Amino acid sequence: MKRCTWMNFLRTLVVLAACAACLKAANKIAPELERLDSAAVADVIVQFRGSGAPGVHARIVASGGVLRHSLHLIHGAHYQIRAARLAEMALDPDIEFIHPNRAVHASDFGGTVDYGWMSTLGFTSNGQALVWDGTGIGVAVIDSGISNHPDLSGRIVYNQSFVPNEDPNDHYGHGIHVAGLIGGNGSKSTGGDSVYKVRGIAPNVNLINLKALDLNGQGTDSQVIAAIQTAVALKSRYNVRVINLSLGRQVTGPYASDPLCQAVQQAWQAGIVVVVAAGNQGRNNSAGTSGYGTIAAPGNSPYVITVGAMNTLGTLARGDDKMASYSSKGPTAFDLIVKPDLVAPGNQMVSLQQSGSTLDKSYQGNEVPKSAYCADNGKKSSDYFQLSGTSMAAPIVSGAAALLLEQHSSWTPDQVKALLMLTADKTFPAASTQTAPGFTTATDAATGGVYTSYYDIFTVGAGYVNIAAALGSSDVPPAGASALSPSAVLNSTTGAVTVVNGTNVLWGSNVLWGNSVVWGTNVLWGSNVLWGSNVLWGNNVLWGSNVLWGSSADVAEATTLTLNGDR
């Protein structure tokens, strides 16, 4: 080969190698970060490869990066660094991926007084509860904080804030409401005009307060991951067996590469049941899917128990309960995981109030009159508040998990998940034909909008949580088996939809999932399934990159939801 030809060949190889390196580096940077102005400060989560974390950290700091949180649970760290440095960082062979530090938010909106959800507890008419009360179980509430309240009676055993410049108290008014649904003991309510106390599912649990949301109900991935990491570290000290996450954000990619999903998976594998709100995007039709495919992260993880919201209609009987139209529906974006796993009461829920908080100031009409829960006929409440959302449904299941773990102290998270799903009620509004499936409607009190809910597997999951049935069950799920939520698969030739799992699973034709599953007599499951009013399961609906709950369907949808929940 002539010298000039050889030199040109070498130059071509160098150029190709450089292009390949650049392409490889670009594949390690999330697309959102590539759009940043080079002069901007990027808020990022960097995940490390292998054992090179100390060296990578030193190189990032030398490039001007500032460490904000060490996130060893996901083998990474949270940094702030000039956007101009990101391309250089991506060339580092010890860096696995660079994520934006995405925003998360509480999954709530308000409501009016409703005591009907208490039927889920198994209360008798005189207010007596079941024998189990969560004694000895620690529940980590990762939320907007928990303030002292008489109904928590000194059971907040640990407090830490991951929100800059905010103490661990609840200045938003969401975390204390969630904590009350899990473990309030009703000491400030003496009945009043009602025979029922305002108390939570497991009124003697210990609460681990890990504040990750600020006074506006906003937070970031790094704050939530740091809180999850702390819950895992405190597991032995406080017997942390449950984590409640009544928060979420848009799904941005497969769960396996999402740092938030990786964190909840690590907690699950450390022996902690993780319960996550499904999200409130069930009315979102921006992608033409009637709210299907809108499950929020990290509820898209197949490990966790993802919870949707039911509306009790203010009655103790369960027979008239219906789906809350705002509750997000599956399958999950990208992975098509069958979610939610369960539904629970979440509409117009009464729980603890943080007087003077952001929610209290904004929605004073949500305060519960004292006459409703005590002999004092004063008009203004400083004790109890009402909210709606999947944020309120998740703690019902967290409390149920705590009761099961008190009853079965050696059970794994997978056993708890399996039994709660197995014993869940599966009777919903009847379906007469495939073209007329069971459904209910809800009307937005402010806008007059009417929304239809169908009772398929992507709306109600395995069914409506039944705590008394779970505690009374003699079934013992296998200790070594997995309870990963399955994936949905469409056969484009036959139109049949099936669910698939790994080999070591609890779901089968005789348990919860399976190709021939019918939830009671209510949900159609076959080759011509109709999911939603006009949403046929097909290539143009939930499959493909064009329907991944895009940015236009983000949290802004919540602004169209009234603070009155479903009617």
Using alpha carbons, select from 504, 494, 490 the residue that is nearest to residue 458. 490
103-106 sheet: strands from edge to edge? 218-220, 103-106, 247-248
Asked if residues 16 and 78 have their Cβ atoms less than 8 Å apart, the reply is no
Place of tokens 């990101």: 86
3-state secondary structure of 110: strand
Q: What is the β-pairing status of strands 487-490 and 497-500?
A: antiparallel
Active-site residue set: 143, 174, 391
pLDDT, position 443: 83
Q: Where are the alpha helices (DSSP H) in 363-490?
A: 390-407, 413-422, 457-460, 467-472
CA 343 to chain centre: 12
> What are 442's strand-pairing partners?
451
CA dist., res. 431 & res. 530, Å (int)? 11
Place of tokens 């709100």: 277
- Cα angle for residues 257, 264, 70 (degrees, 5° grid): 80
> What are 41's strand-pairing partners?
82
pLDDT, position 123: 41
26, 300, 354, 438, 482 from 304: Cα distances, Å: 31, 8, 29, 28, 11
Q: Going residue by residue through the chain (567 aa), what tens digit of pLDDT does each one get?
A: 454 554 454 454 444 444 444 444 558 999 999 989 999 999 999 999 987 788 999 999 999 999 999 999 999 999 999 999 999 999 999 999 999 999 999 976 543 333 334 444 444 333 444 589 999 999 999 999 999 999 998 999 999 999 999 999 999 999 999 999 999 999 888 754 444 578 899 999 999 999 999 999 999 999 999 999 999 999 999 999 999 999 999 999 999 999 999 999 999 999 999 999 999 999 998 888 889 999 999 999 999 999 999 998 877 788 889 999 999 999 999 999 999 999 999 998 999 999 999 999 998 888 888 777 776 665 566 789 999 999 999 999 999 999 999 999 999 999 999 999 999 998 887 543 444 457 888 887 778 888 888 888 899 999 999 999 999 999 999 888 889 998 887 767 766 667 777 554 555 444 445 433 333 333 333 333 333 333 334 333 333 333 322 222 222 222 222 333 565
Torsion of CA 363, 368, 371, 373, to 10 degrees: -170
CA atoms within 13 A on the CB side of 11: 6
CA 60 to chain centre: 32
3-state secondary structure of 111: coil
Residue partners of 560: CB distance under 8 A and separation at least 6: 283, 447
Output the six-digit token pair for 81: 């660094």
Place of tokens 């409506």: 464
3-state secondary structure of 105: strand
Q: Report the sign of the C-alpha dihedral through residues 163, 168, 171, 172, in that order.
A: positive
pTM across the whole model: 0.86
Count of C-beta atoms within a 10 Å radius of residue 358: 18
Using alpha carbons, select from 225, 238, 213, 219 the residue that is nearest to residue 158. 238
3-state secondary structure of 359: helix
Count of C-beta atoms within a 10 Å radius of residue 509: 10
Q: Report the sign of the C-alpha dihedral through residues 467, 197, 275, 366, in that order.
A: positive
Q: What is the β-pairing status of strands 206-211 and 218-220?
A: unpaired
Asked if residues 261 and 301 have their Cβ atoms less than 8 Å apart, the reply is yes
Residue partners of 511: CB distance under 8 A and separation at least 6: 418, 422
CA 136 to chain centre: 25
Asked if residues 351 and 384 have their Cβ atoms less than 8 Å apart, the reply is yes
Q: What is the DSSP string of 525-541?
A: -STT-B-SSS-BSSTTT
Asked if residues 324 and 340 have their Cβ atoms less than 8 Å apart, the reply is no
3-state secondary structure of 433: strand
CA dist., res. 450 & res. 494, Å (int)? 34
Torsion of CA 286, 213, 242, 134, to 10 degrees: -110
3-state secondary structure of 33: helix
